[in-house]
């Protein structure tokens, strides 16, 4: 995998926590941060994609009516 450099500042307390975690887990700080970033980006990307899909469905009129929602609520007593 091709890589690039990303540099940014973090609060000193966070930096210390990351350093302690790296020592405790015998992992490099960059490996810890890369895993966290990948997980966060995947989650955020999924959420955005699903939100866009839902907006497009709503704009196309493909959403449940109030009556349909109430029917489900009554059925499941929620």
Domain membership of residue 19 (yes or no) is yes
The count of structural domains within the chain is: 1
- pTM confidence score: 0.68
pLDDT tens profile 30-78: 999 999 999 999 999 999 999 999 999 999 999 899 999 999 999 998 8
Domain membership of residue 6 (yes or no) is no
Domain membership of residue 31 (yes or no) is yes
Number of CB atoms found within 10 A of residue 16's CB: 11
pLDDT tens profile 22-34: 999 999 999 999 9
Domain membership of residue 3 (yes or no) is no
* Domain boundaries, position 66: 12-76
Distance CA 68, CA 7 (A): 50
């Amino acid at each position: 995998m091709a890589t690039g450099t990303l540099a940014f500042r973090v609060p000193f307390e966070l930096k210390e926590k990351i350093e302690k975690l790296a020592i405790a887990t015998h992992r490099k700080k960059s490996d810890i941060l890369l895993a966290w970033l990948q997980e966060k980006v995947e989650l955020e990307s999924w959420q955005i994609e699903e939100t866009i899909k839902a907006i497009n469905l709503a704009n196309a009129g493909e959403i449940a009516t109030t009556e349909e929602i109430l029917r489900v609520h009554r059925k499941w007593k929620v």
